[in-house]
Chain A
């Protein structure tokens, strides 16, 4: 674990075993997970589906009990209650009482969070406005769309103005506009000095907003560190798409930049290092080609992610073949 005086979330060697049913053997979901989240940062907890992201978050929220290890939030053990006045939680696909209106449910959560009547009267409409539900505040939640429910979820997590916010897959199932809005909310929280911990499997979100990430695969942390650490300048690539290219030029470019070239119809697509982009464009334009698009491509996180997943699955395959060998 990283030595740091201002760690807001500290997780050390967290273990979780499940017994899938009576008489069945215990199954280990988390194999000693350790990481820490610093004050004021956006922390991305990344992993494929079933890697143990939600299990870790549930253990942090006290919804499940860890079988071993420690987890502390704001210096308190997660089995306690009082530190929760300072945290907010948005579960994955949040569900709320459908018979309440948006205003009623926020008022309910505000009361649970210990806000007095005066502060509730001020905070609830303000927050509804903030998440863009001002007009829908008197509608029953059962009439809400998924995106609206997600915003209710964000609002309830923030109702008591917490220091740390935990988000489980905040962007999943949303349309592009919804995702953009949630992204903006998260960045705004950071600008207000809050700490944000988010579970996600959408790497582009992580790349755009997270300060630090941990990659969890099959219940083990594979990598933890700052985004910049992954993104060495050498690794910054861009995809360039050109059209109306003289056929011979493709080969020349391929040879010169050592890039992978793919032909799509009358277009070709090349992946080159970021610093070579201007040189490539100049050459292409001189030869009479037209530039269709230039997309910066950060290869590193995805690469590391895929690497992490593939090593563990090969590990898995090895294990299985070994077991098969034993049996035969």
Chain B
């Protein structure tokens, strides 16, 4: 190959060996490099300092969490529906992540998110049940969850769990026993459904022993999921039922007290006080499964307003339906628990 066709070009500044340049020039070059380095470090530092001033709030933190209208986003996914659905699913998980309970507002948010998730990809499985589990704080939320479960049933007609959850919601929160029984009956005929479902239907139809039905539901729910968060939620439900059973036992004792003494108890402690006490001791006002370390030093209290015996652990009696008054009070108790004071206790001891 001839290389004479390429003319010789003068070496550029960078190519020229150092000894061609004067010392002054070299010094100048180093000074330039040093200044550039300094400027670079300053710029980096500026970025770091400024960013530290900007709070890293997400939109959800600022209360601006935006959930698109499912009917609109459904049209503009450009073929990426499944992955967008997954995205909103992950957002939904983050929205409840860490919090043991979801308040009614956040519940609505989760409901919107799951609506988007299941609109974009109605063949998802778990998100329907996820909605059922988390949307429990208001009747509106539960109705949303039920709508989503119905969508799940339409797309997975062979899946017994969606019907089971729907039945549970109808029974547990909405007290629509007949509808609940229908759903559980339908679920019992589907592949993989547990054998005791028909018995559950019978109990629902008899409209008795609701606490037993709830317990049966919850035990099944605990066993039916691998999700540790959900399991914890169901176990909490079972704990609540345990306390309710104890409270009902105390109710009976209170009745006997009244019969014997002709007057009502002043405090729950009265049941084991005085000569010939009704009870030798009181049952623990906290769930048996609660580790000692997590004990809140709860006590049995007499709720004047409702005229019931309640455990300060929950602050209200177990209800299968939504009751605005008791719910509001329960929230008040919860707030009080956090402050470490128990106003109701004082009230109860009046």
Chain A positions near chain B (C-beta within 8 angstroms): 132-133, 135-136, 139, 145-148, 175, 177-178
CB neighbours (8 Å) of B5 from chain A are 145-148, 175, 178
- Asked whether B27 is an interface residue with its Cβ less than 8 Å from the other chain, the reply is no
| From B2, B3, B6, residue with most partner A Cβ within 10 Å | B2
Interface hits, B1-20 → A, CB 8 Å: 1-6
- Give bound CA distance, A135 to B3, whole Å: 12
* CA gap between A135 and B4 in the complex, in Å: 15
Q: Smallest CB-CB separation from A177: which chain B residue?
A: B4
- Which chain B residues border A178 with CB–CB below 8 Å? 5
**Bound-complex Cα distance A256 to B28 (A):** 70
Which partner residue on chain B sits nearest A148 by CB separation?
A: B5
**Besides A136-B1, A146-B5, A175-B5, 4 new A-B residue pairs in contact (Cβ under 8 A), listed by A number:** A132-B2, A135-B1, A145-B6, A148-B5
Contacts of B4 in A (CB 8 A): 175, 177
Which chain B residues border A132 with CB–CB below 8 Å? 2
What are 16 sample pairs from A and B whose C-beta atoms fall under 8 A apart?
A: A132-B2, A133-B1, A135-B1, A136-B1, A139-B1, A145-B3, A145-B5, A145-B6, A146-B5, A147-B5, A148-B1, A148-B5, A175-B4, A175-B5, A177-B4, A178-B5
Residue of A132, A135, A136, A145 with most chain B CB atoms under a 10 A cut-off: A145
> Inside 8 A of A146's CB, which chain B residues have their CB?
5
Task: Pick the 9 closest A-B CB pairs, nearest first.
Answer: A145-B5, A147-B5, A136-B1, A135-B1, A145-B6, A148-B5, A175-B5, A178-B5, A146-B5
**Could you say which residues of chain A place their CB within 8 Å of the CB of B6?**
145
CB distance from B9 to the nearest CB of A (A): 12
Docked pose: A124 CA to B3 CA in angstroms: 22
Task: Name the residue of chain B whose CB is nearest to the CB of A143.
Answer: B1
CB distance from A185 to the nearest CB of B (A): 16
- Measured between alpha carbons, how far is A30 from B3 in the docked complex, in Å? 41
Taking CB as reference atom, which chain A residue is nearest B3? Answer: A145
What separation, in Å, do the CA atoms of A173 and B309 have in the docked complex?
A: 105
Which chain A residue shows the least CB distance to B2? A132
CA of A132 to CA of B4, assembled, Å: 13
Cα–Cα distance between A135 and B2 once the two chains are bound (Å): 9
User: In chain B, what residue has the closest Cβ to A134?
Assistant: B1
Min distance, Cβ A223 to any Cβ of chain B, angstroms: 35
The CA of A133 and the CA of B6, in the complex, are separated in Å by: 15
Q: Chain A residue with minimal CB distance to B7?
A: A175
In whole Å, how far is B37's beta carbon from the nearest beta carbon of chain A?
A: 35
Q: What's the least CB distance linking B140 to chain A, in Å?
A: 61
Instruction: Give bound CA distance, A145 to B4, whole Å.
Output: 9
Instruction: A136 to B5: give the CA distance in the assembly, Å.
Output: 14
Distance to closest chain B CB from A174 (angstroms): 8
Q: How far is the CA of A147 from the CA of B1 in the complex (A)?
A: 12
Q: Nearest chain A CB to B53's CB is how many angstroms away?
A: 50
Docked Cα-Cα span, A78 to B1, in Å, equals: 38
* Chain A residues near B3 (CB-CB < 8 A): 145
With the chains together, A147 CA to B2 CA distance in Å? 10
Q: Closest residue to A149 on the B side, CB-wise?
A: B5
- Alpha-carbon gap, A137 to B4, bound state (A): 17
- Per the bound structure, the CA–CA distance linking A133 and B5 in Å amounts to 13
- A140 → chain B closest CB, angstroms: 13
Contacts of A148 in B (CB 8 A): 1, 5
Give the shortest distance, in Å, between A137 (CB) and chain B (any CB).
10
B247 to chain A, nearest CB (A): 83
Contact flags (1/0) for B132-164 with A, using CB distance below 8 Å?
A: 000000000000000000000000000000000
* Residues of chain A contacted by B1 (CB below 8 angstroms): 133, 135-136, 139, 148
- Chain B nearest CB from A138 CB (Å) reads 11
Question: Which residues of chain B are within 8 angstroms of A147 by Cβ–Cβ distance?
Answer: 5
Which residue of the partner chain B has the closest CB to A150? Answer: B5
Residues of B within 8 A of A145 (CB): 3, 5-6
- Which residue among B1, B3, B4 has the maximum number of chain A CB atoms within 10 Å of its CB? B1
**Chain B nearest CB, measured from A162 CB (Å):** 26
User: Measured between C-beta atoms, what is the minimum distance from B7 to chain A in Å?
Assistant: 9
Query: B291 → chain A, closest Cβ, in Å?
Result: 70
CA A177 to CA B6, docked complex, whole Å: 13
Q: How far is the CB of B1 from chain A (nearest CB, A)?
A: 4
Question: Complex Cα distance A151/B50, Å?
Answer: 60
State the CA gap A46–B5 with chains docked (Å): 27
Contacts of A136 in B (CB 8 A): 1
CA distance A115 to B2 in the complex (A): 29
With the chains together, A132 CA to B6 CA distance in Å?
Answer: 16
Q: How far is the CA of A132 from the CA of B1 in the complex (A)?
A: 8
A178 to B2, CA, bound (A): 11
